């Protein structure tokens, strides 16, 4: 029976062909995505690697003296040598604070593997295509009832199907991780697997006293277990719904929704496979960003609470218990004679939920209250507590308290303000400002919270990954990109997860989570009135 089920899934259901196609697509995706890097390293990679080969590993007294000697010479040069050395020197300063647990290493490859927790859409679609037909196919062709009437067609058959589905899901996930590992290793290298995890500055506060390679092993194991969990869950949904479309939509919903609600942390503690499929967050530790208190003192604001080894162990036991329960439910419902759940009401609820999330996002929206004049002065704004002004000459934003008259510099960034600020938008909770650099680089919108005056990136049209792959992805702006980037953002408004912005005589609407945008008004140069009022665009020529 085991061989029959394997042949059925791999050949009759085209599982093997789908796996090869999915792996090829994921390899192309990994190559196209490149690896985590920085502009300085990319421009001076040879010099950076020369320094890294010289000093990587444990920080010793000899290496420290060499770096201090090199500092005087390198900082006097004006070429790429200075920039590359200062990058290494910053890593050295981080490492010497705790030399026993922090080594010097090239962080780019391991950062690519360990610091991202997005949805692997290709793997998700493959697992759905692999698992959904196993039970749904039998129900839709009428074979399920015939098989259950056989001696071995009840509990034993269901157990074999579940085992094969879980095993193939684990194998496929491991192959996906292998593809990513090979691509990153060939493109930038993965040296330092035996170094302490805290050698990567991203893991400064991680409570795991393990090596980088061991941390990656935990991530891979978590993803494999998450894939097995998802396969069992899809099997249960198939047995309950008995329809391919409904099972597919439900599988997508339980995999995608945890990434869209409650921030990055919530998916790791929800009793759903999304956290294990992401995997990396379990070893991150506490993540913080720089902010200010009421007295303008620098403080650390927690953006990710972190999960301790004890909490991870408890979650692992809980998740294992849930998987065992799902297996029991699959066997119970497959063997029993209960009727299938009516598809129409369940499918309607799933579709409405998916459409609501995709169209409105998970952010709070005040469309019924927001009004904004796109043709008004975009260097000023106010709410009930503050009057905010943008000084384009100094590239600063100042908020004046209406209650006390105190002036507060909102763009007081200790690391320097990058890009030119072109416009601001103010609501009751925050001040947003649009910033842009060189032509072709896109623009960014930052959010300054009025509660603690912390600043975070709210939306960006540029890529977070500036890496190349053997020089094949050394991006230069195309003619279309240069023509599209026809100027700074002259005015914009933020409404929930949608941003309306005016650029180059056009009014755009963009969904901040995906970057999908449409042109709302193609030519505003002849407009005498252009407003956003309660969710609608009002314009008069």
Name the band, by pLDDT with cuts 50, 70 and 90, for residue 466.
very low
Q: Does 7 fall in a domain?
A: yes
Q: Is 128 helix (H, G, I), strand (E, B) or coil?
A: helix
- Verify that 222 and 343 share a domain, yes or no: yes
CA 17, 21, 22 angle in degrees (round to 5)?
115
DSSP string, 334-387: HHS-PPPPPHHHHHHHHHHHHHHHHHH-SS---TTT-EEETTS-TTEEE-SSEE
- Verify that 347 and 490 share a domain, yes or no: no
Strand ranges in 166-217 using DSSP code E only, listed in sequence order: none
Distance CA 530, CA 541 (A): 9
Domain count, the chain: 3
397 contacts 432 by C-beta, under 8 angstroms: no
Name the band, by pLDDT with cuts 50, 70 and 90, for residue 322.
very high
- Verify that 44 and 155 share a domain, yes or no: no
Range of the domain at 167: 1-16+117-355
Q: Does 361 fall in a domain?
A: no
- Verify that 140 and 52 share a domain, yes or no: no
Q: Does 102 fall in a domain?
A: no
The mean-pLDDT minimum among 201-205, 249-253, 329-333, 480-484 falls in: 480-484
Mean pLDDT, rounded, of the chain? 83
What is the share, in percent, of the chain residues with pLDDT greater than 90?
42
Q: What are 260-263's contacts with CB under 8 Å, separation 24+? A: 260/357, 260/361, 260/362, 260/513, 261/362
- Verify that 412 and 491 share a domain, yes or no: yes
pLDDT the model gives residue 413? 62
pLDDT for 355 beyond 80: no
Phi then psi for residue 526, to 5 deg, are: -100, 10
Q: Does 381 fall in a domain?
A: yes
Closest by alpha carbon to 82, among 90, 91, 94, 73? Answer: 73
387 contacts 402 by C-beta, under 8 angstroms: yes
- Verify that 302 and 386 share a domain, yes or no: no
Q: Does 26 fall in a domain?
A: no
- Verify that 347 and 376 share a domain, yes or no: no
- Verify that 342 and 452 share a domain, yes or no: no
pLDDT the model gives residue 418? 60
Mean pLDDT of 524-531: 86
520 CB-contact burial (10 Å; exposed 0-12 / middle 13-18 / buried 19+)? middle
pLDDT for 344 beyond 80: no
- Verify that 294 and 199 share a domain, yes or no: yes
Joined tokens for residue 107: 């962080």
The mean-pLDDT minimum among 45-49, 248-252, 434-438 falls in: 434-438
Of 298, 326, 355, the position where a domain reaches its end is 355
Joined tokens for residue 368: 């019924």
467 contacts 108 by C-beta, under 8 angstroms: yes
Looking at the chain, how many residues does it have? 541
pLDDT for 471 beyond 50: no
- Verify that 511 and 388 share a domain, yes or no: yes
189 contacts 106 by C-beta, under 8 angstroms: yes
Of 322, 355, 388, the position where a domain reaches its end is 355
User: CATH code at 481?
Assistant: 2.130.10.10
- Verify that 418 and 300 share a domain, yes or no: no
Q: Does 11 fall in a domain?
A: yes
Q: Which is more confident, 375 or 436?
A: 375
Mean pLDDT of 510-515: 76
Q: Does 21 fall in a domain?
A: no
9-24 CB burial, b ≥16 within 10 A, e <16: bbeebebeebbeebbe
Q: Is 478 helix (H, G, I), strand (E, B) or coil?
A: coil
Sign of CA dihedral 364, 369, 375, 379: negative
* DSSP-assigned beta bridge partners for residue 196: 211
- Verify that 339 and 484 share a domain, yes or no: no
Distance CA 530, CA 538 (A): 6
* Other CB atoms within 10 A of residue 206 CB: 23
DSSP character at residue 140: H
Joined tokens for residue 460: 């960006």
The mean-pLDDT minimum among 20-24, 191-195, 370-374 falls in: 370-374
Q: Does 313 fall in a domain?
A: yes
- Which ranges in 14-99 belong to alpha helices (H)? 15-33, 39-43, 45-55, 61-74, 80-96
């Amino acid at each position: 029976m085991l061989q029959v089920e394997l042949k059925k899934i791999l050949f009759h259901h085209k599982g093997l062909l789908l796996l090869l196609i999915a792996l090829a697509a994921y390899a192309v995706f990994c190559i196209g995505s490149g690896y985590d890097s920085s502009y300085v390293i990319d421009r001076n990679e040879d010099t950076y690697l020369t320094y890294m080969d010289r000093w990587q590993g444990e920080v010793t007294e000899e290496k420290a003296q060499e770096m201090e000697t090199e500092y005087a010479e390198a900082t006097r040069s004006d070429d790429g040598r200075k920039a590359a050395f200062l990058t290494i020197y910053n890593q050295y300063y981080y490492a010497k604070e705790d030399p026993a647990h922090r080594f010097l290493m090239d962080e780019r490859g391991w950062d690519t593997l360990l610091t991202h927790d997005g949805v692997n859409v290709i793997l998700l679609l493959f697992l759905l295509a692999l698992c959904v037909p196993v039970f749904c196919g039998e129900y839709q062709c009428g074979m399920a009832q015939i098989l259950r009437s056989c001696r071995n067609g009840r509990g034993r058959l269901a157990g074999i199907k579940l085992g094969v589905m879980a095993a193939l899901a684990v194998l496929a996930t491991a192959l996906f991780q292998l593809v990513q590992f090979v691509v990153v290793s060939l493109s930038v290298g993965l040296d330092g697997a035996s170094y302490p995890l805290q050698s990567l500055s991203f893991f400064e506060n991680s409570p795991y006293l393990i090596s980088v390679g061991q941390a990656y092993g935990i991530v891979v194991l978590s993803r494999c277990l998450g894939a097995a969990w998802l396969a069992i869950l899809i099997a249960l949904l198939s047995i309950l719904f008995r329809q391919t479309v409904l099972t597919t939509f439900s599988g997508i919903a339980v995999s995608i929704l945890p990434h869209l609600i409650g921030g990055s942390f919530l998916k790791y503690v929800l009793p759903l496979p999304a956290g294990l499929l992401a995997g990396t967050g379990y070893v991150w530790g506490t993540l913080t960003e720089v902010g200010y208190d009421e007295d303008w003192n620098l403080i650390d604001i927690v953006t990710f609470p972190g999960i301790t080894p004890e909490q991870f162990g408890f979650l692992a036991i809980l998740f294992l218990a849930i998987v065992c329960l799902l297996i029991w439910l699959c066997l119970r419902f497959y063997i029993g004679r209960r009727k299938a759940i009516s598809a129409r009401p369940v499918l309607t609820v799933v579709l409405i939920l998916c459409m609501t999330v995709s169209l409105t996002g998970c952010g709070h929206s005040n469309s019924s209250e927001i009004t904004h004049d796109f043709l008004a002065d975009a260097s000023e704004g106010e709410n009930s507590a503050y009057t905010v002004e943008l000084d384009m000459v100094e590239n600063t934003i100042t908020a004046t308290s209406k209650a006390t008259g105190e002036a507060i510099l909102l763009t007081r960034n200790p690391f320097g303000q990058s890009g030119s600020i072109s416009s601001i938008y103010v609501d009751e909770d925050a001040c947003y400002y649009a910033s842009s650099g060189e032509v072709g680089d896109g623009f960014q919108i930052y959010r300054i919270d009025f509660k603690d005056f912390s600043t975070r990136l709210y939306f960006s049209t540029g890529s977070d990954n500036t890496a190349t792959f053997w020089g094949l992805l050394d991006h230069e702006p195309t003619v279309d990109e240069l023509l599209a980037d026809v100027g700074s953002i002259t005015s914009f408004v933020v409404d929930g997860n949608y941003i309306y912005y005016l650029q180059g005589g056009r009014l755009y609407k963009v969904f901040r989570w995906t970057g999908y945008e449409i042109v709302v008004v193609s030519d505003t140069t002849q407009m005498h009135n252009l407003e956003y009022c309660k969710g609608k665009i009002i314009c008069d020529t």
